[in-house]
Amino acid sequence: MKVKRFLLVAGLCATIMSANAQKGVDNGTRFGSGADSIRCLENVSLATSYAKVDNFKDAYPFWKIAYDECPAATKDLYLYGVRIINWQISQEKDPAKLSTLIDDLMAVYDRRIKYFGDDPRYGKDWIIARKAQDYMRLKGESADAAVLYGWLSEAIVEYKEKTDPLAVSLYMFASYKMMEKNESHKGKYVEDFLACSKIYDQQIEAAKTSGDSKEQANLETLKADIERNFAASGAADCATLENIYAAKVEQNKDDIKFLKETLVLLRRVRCQDSEIFFNASEYAHRIEPTAESALGMGKQAVKKEDYVLAEKYFLEAASLATEDDMKGDIYYTIALIAFEDRNYSKSRQYCQKAVDADPTSCMPYLLIGNMYVATASGIYPNDPVLRKCVYYAAVDKFEKARQVNEACASEASRLINTFRSYFPTTEEIFMHPDLEKGKAIAIGGWIGERTIIR
């Protein structure tokens, strides 16, 4: 009697449990309810156990059940799901099946966004970036730029300056591909660059504030990449920017934020001799003088051949500049003006200021060397052998330019080879009582430097 009662109760419980069973995908819970919740937990456990040891073949059937029936159970379903599907893709040879598997992989990312897109660390923007990365890797040249751009635009619009850094980088790549395919996207590509550059600036500043030097370095690398790609894109030509920004500058002449961003862009792509740069500089300088606006005013003064006023603005720009390369460029510009005025001592002084500000700057060394060459005959008008010795000092500068920056290597090498051929010959040195090969010589005149006789 007791046995019958036990079986009856057990059967009733099983019936109730079965009746209450429901999959998580149906009732919106993590694991489901009743027997289905147990089934979910079992499959999650078996799937992750196999996947952890890279046994994706045996992991797949258990993962698929859990993925379909209780997709909100755990992030591990998506962590290992990506690995499982990628493994299947690596094994597949049939193009049609391969295409289906890639779609399946994209769906895994989409479902992760649905159930775990609000994760504070690995949220929607982070997931979209990894989805886009896998899509590009697997599709290769057949990747649809419009699809990529759509995904990543969603992340940029929603997360703004908080957007995952990789998503920002891939967004710029997608925008470039869109422009490559359609010339009319060029203006939007320029706007995307400005927006993404600003995002990176804000993220770099946040990393600095928090003392996260590793993240700061990573962000600076990513920013440098998009700047380099933008400069080489063809969208950065001055004529195109003139067409895009001429009307915008006039429409926004009281918007200091817009004017600053425009000036930064034009300086980065070396469009500082354009009318829009001058106009934007003038409007910005009236509202809030900055290094960028002062630089523009200085260049405008140069165009009008008012070099005294130009130097005034350039010095103001240098005092306001916070970036070493910009400060170095400004001092070098002043050096060029002094050179044109044949004020060689002053030109060299500002060349030195340029390299002090930016030690990677090589153009100032080339300029100093060329000044030495240009003035050699004036320093030793009556001694042709000593005149040739000036070329030793010039070549020293060309060598320095080649050392500090690869950008000057080609021109520096050409100058070195040219002026080495003008060095005094062994016979000329032998016949000159003050000279001895391997010894130091003081070059006179305004140069006033010591060099070695070769």
Q: What pLDDT digit, counting tens, does each position of 213-236 carry? A: 999 999 999 998 998 888 788 887
Give residue 190's pLDDT band: very low, low, confident or very high (50, 70, 90). confident
**What is the reported pLDDT for 9?**
36
Q: What is the mean pLDDT of residues 318-344?
A: 94
60/101 Cα distance (integer angstroms): 13
Closest CA to 173 of 197, 191, 155, 149: 149
Per-residue burial over 151-170, b = 16 or more CB atoms within 10 Å of its CB, e = otherwise: bbebbbeebeeebbbbbbbb
- The neighbouring-strand residues paired with 299 are none
Contact (Cβ atoms closer than 8 angstroms) between residue 48 and residue 58: no
Q: pLDDT tens digit string along 12-69?
A: 334 334 445 687 788 878 887 788 889 999 999 999 999 999 999 999 999 999 999 9
Q: What angle do CA 55, 71, 24 make, to 5 degrees?
A: 125
Greatest extent of the chain over all pairs of C-alpha atoms, in Å = 133
Q: What mean pLDDT, rounded, does the chain reach?
A: 90
Q: Describe the chain by its helix, strand, coil percentages, rounded to 5.
A: 75, 0, 20
**What is the reported pLDDT for 21?**
64
**What is the reported pLDDT for 6?**
35
328/335 Cα distance (integer angstroms): 11
Q: pLDDT tens digit string along 400-428?
A: 999 999 999 999 999 999 999 999 999 99
Show Cβ contacts of residue 277 under 8 Å, excluding neighbours closer than 6 positions.
263, 266, 267, 271, 296, 299
